[in-house]
Structure 1
Amino acid sequence: MRILVTNDDGINAPGLAVMRQIAAETGSDVWVVAPETDQSGLSHSLTMNDPLRLRKIERQVYALRGTPTDCVIMGVREVMPEIPDLILSGVNSGQNISDDVTYSGTIAAAMEGTMLRIPSIALSQAYDWTSGNPIPWDVASTHACGLIQRILDKGIKKGILININFPNCAANAVSGIELTRQGALTHGLFLDKRDDGRRNPYYWLTHRRQSQDVIAGTDLDALQRNFISVTPLKMDLTADEALDYYSYLAD
């Protein structure tokens, strides 16, 4: 099996090393095209006004000065001699769940693979970024390969990508696997205003999540109970349930 590996945390991210290990256990022909630098939060963006610079790191491993979406296109259209059988994106440092999937470059890479009609899976490892504790990469490295194989054995439907999130716990403390819906989070992005040395204002985006009710059956609910969350996402964003509501526009 030919596998293209990418991420949004960059070519030197520890999660990419974990992803390469998982890919090597899944297929025999693994290629890597990952961003030269951290591209987190860039979603499904393309580099349109700058050239894409490709740098070979080692055999079948490349760094690209571009976005995760660029990396998938480069891997499929230029780097790999044949179209991959599978695209694996991650392992992201931090969960990609609920509304946050719309920001995620990890998810976007899997979206691009899905648009290219290639089975694609995004993988993310949850952790508590406020605690200072290390990211429990062993959860993903222990459980990902078997889960991916089960998904591939059944097949991924056209227009669907798979979003997998591993809980923030020890590998042997995982409660199981749950098929989940995409949940919802309170909007947690705010602006931290500061002044530079000349008293000119500048801003940092900051995260300040508010407490909220967690809906059963969602990705967030599964992670909070130490389950691995598996969420099928679709490329068709049409709100089918709203078509009748807006039917008056066609009168």
Structure 2
Amino acid sequence: MKFLISNDDGYFAPGIAALASTLARHGEVVVVAPERDRSGASNSLTLDRPLSVRKADNGFFYVNGTPTDCVHLAVTGLLDFRPDIIFSGINHGANMGDDTIYSGTVAAATEGYLLGIPSVAVSLCGRSGNNFSTAAHVVDELVERICNRPFSRPTLLNVNIPDIPLDALQGSLVTRLGRRHHAEPVVQSLTPRGDKVYWVGTVGSAQDAGEGTDFYAVANHHASITPLMIDLTAYDQLDGIKSWLQP
């Protein structure tokens, strides 16, 4: 099996090293990741300048662009093979609920999915970052399941693992996305020159975090596996909008 790996934390992040090491046991691995932290980049593509690709001492390729740039460039020009599956991560921090809209980790996987390749975003949910090995174990099991029962069509999965020791993990659950409250207010501060600047506030607490959601699974020491779709059409509004066009 041939894997393409990317992330949004940068090619130097410990999570991507753990992911590459895990997937190398299952096949050929190529890493193409941003040269710096691009968290929150979402699905942005760089269209106003050319992109450069360099190779680090550890063999990872890094790009002066976004996570989406990395996957798009790799699949459409850089690689001499088509990946069987794309993994993004292991992100240091959760990507659940509304976070998936902004997440560069999920965006990298989404780009692979849009290019017709099964893709998986993987995140470790916690600030400590002490248990990437737990997330790597979940990835290892997931790859074995995919090998035994391959996807019948391109699939996009969002996987979140609690930042806990492996022996505390209670297995995996298939979930839906939860929802958060609105984000906290922006934080104002002053530059040394006295100019007012603003920092985007922290994410809000979870509003929809009941049983069946990704928030619930992680809070109860389960890995959360959420299949995602990209069709943004509001089908229940089609008839109502069509009525606008009627005389």
TM-score bracket, shorter-length normalisation: over 0.9
Q: How far 1:206 moved relative to its partner? A: 2.4
Are 1:34 and 2:29 counterparts?
no
Matched, 1:13 2:13: yes
Counterpart in the other structure of 2:219: 224
* 1:125-166, Cα deviation, whole Å (9 max, x unpaired): 111x3xxx4432121122211123213433335453011111
Alpha-carbon distance between aligned partners in 2 of 1:161 and 1:74, rounded to the nearest angstrom: 19
TM-score (norm 1): 0.91
Report the counterpart of residue 42 of structure 2 in structure 1: 43
Percent identity, aligned pairs only, is: 39
Counterparts of 1:239 and 1:148, CA distance in 2: 33
Whether the 8 Å CA contact 1:30–1:60 is kept in 2: the answer is no
- Alignment deviations for residues 138-195 of structure 1 (CA, whole Å, 9 cap, x no partner): 2112221112321343333545301111112211111111110111111224311111
Hey, what does 1:25 align to over in structure 2?
Answer: 25
Change in CA separation of 1:218 and 1:110 when aligned onto 2, cut-off 3 Å: same
**Deviates most, 202-211 or 8-17:** 202-211
Going from structure 1 to structure 2, the CA distance change for 1:134 and 1:232 (only over 3 Å counts) comes to closer
Aligned equivalent of 2:168: 173
Contact 2:123 2:159 in 1 (8 A): yes
Structure 1 residue 210, shift from structure 2 partner:
3.6
Q: Per the alignment, in what secondary structure is the counterpart of residue 141 of structure 2?
A: helix
Q: Does 1:207 align with 2:206?
A: no
Q: Distance in 1 between matches of 2:107 and 2:198?
A: 26
Matches within 5 A, 1:1-251: 1-27=1-27, 29-58=28-57, 61-127=60-126, 129=127, 133-156=128-151, 158=153, 160-207=155-202, 209-210=204-205, 212=207, 214-251=209-246
Q: What amino acid does structure 1 have at the position aligned with 2:92?
A: S
**Alignment partners' CA distance in 1, 2:220 and 2:32:** 34
The Cα of 1:211 is off from its aligned counterpart by 6.1
CA contact (8 A) 1:47 1:67 kept: yes
Unaligned runs of 5+ in 2: none
Report the Cα distance in structure 2 between the residues aligned to 1:89 and 1:190, rounded to whole angstroms.
Answer: 30
- Tell me if structure 1 keeps the 8 A contact 2:179–2:206: no
* Secondary structure of residue in 2 paired with 1:25: coil
In 1, are the aligned partners of 2:6 and 2:67 still within 8 Å (CA)? Answer: yes
Over aligned residue pairs, what C-alpha RMSD do you find?
A: 1.8
Spell out structure 1 runs of 4+ moving beyond 6 A: none
Return the letter of the residue paired with 1:22: T
| C-alpha distance in 2 between matches for 1:191 and 1:211 | 18
